[in-house]
Amino acid sequence: MSSSVSDSNFDYSNIGKTQAYINAQNAAAKESKDQVLGQEDFLMLLTTQLECQDPTQPVDNSQMVSQMSQLSMVESLSTISENMDGVINSVNSSAALTASSLVGRSVLVDSKEGFFDGANPMYAKIDAGDGATDINIVVKDANGTVVAEYTAASGIDDMEFSWDGVKDAGSETSDPTFFESGMYTIEATAYQNGKKVNLPVSTYATVGSVTLGSNYQDTILNLVGYGNVTLNEVEEIAL
């Protein structure tokens, strides 16, 4: 018989971090805290000042009130800082959950190079802007050799494109032959306002794993066959 363990106290902000990295963060936080004067330090300074004052020239009441006001302000700022730390930790925990949920999903990256696994279609998005005509799309292998070519009379805005990677369609008695798996480049040219231009191309890639950084922007996505990109480099997350 198995029992379940509640994960309500689990610290998601430490997902993907090594123990050495966590220890270094804690040491840096402690050092920073040790360099800041707290309420007890201010009270000690104030008490020492009262003890050492010149009896013939006692501390002015207005100065005392001013110092106490400053102490109260510092205490309030300290409380606000602690609350902000809690908010930041909550945001980091939310980022960890969000990033971990991306594993296995497709993301769009600003690159005309994409990974073809040798079986499943390779997807891309072509930006035709306000409109383009005589669109020509080519797929090149790692050596720059054109392995497929397509044309379209016209297009506008974002155009979805997919390449099945089929090298030989075969016949009813044989299976199709695919190109080898690897990196392929999709290039698109067209005419806009009477001029031939290169259209921007972005490709989709599958998230294989996630490595969390010290903040949301430093989170690294490992894309299958493609490599690593930061989370803020992702243009779109697909289903």
pLDDT digits (tens, 9 = 90+) for 162-191: 999 998 766 666 788 899 999 999 999 999
What does the pLDDT read at residue 216?
63
Q: Which two tokens stand for residue 58?
A: 């006692």
pTM greater than the 0.75 cutoff: no
pLDDT tens per residue, range 60-99: 666 666 666 666 676 666 667 666 766 666 556 566 666 7
- State whether the Cα torsion 64-66-68-70 is positive or negative: negative
Phi-psi label, residue 134: left if phi above 0, alpha if psi -120 to 50, beta otherwise: left
Beta bridge pairs of residue 211:
220
106-237 classified as CATH 2.40.160.40: no
**Domains of the chain: which residue ranges?**
13-51+58-100, 106-237
- The span from the CA of 166 to the CA of 6, in Å, is 49
Report the first-to-last Cα separation within the chain, whole angstroms: 36
Contact call for residues 78 and 39 (beta carbons, < 8 A): yes
Contact call for residues 125 and 201 (beta carbons, < 8 A): yes
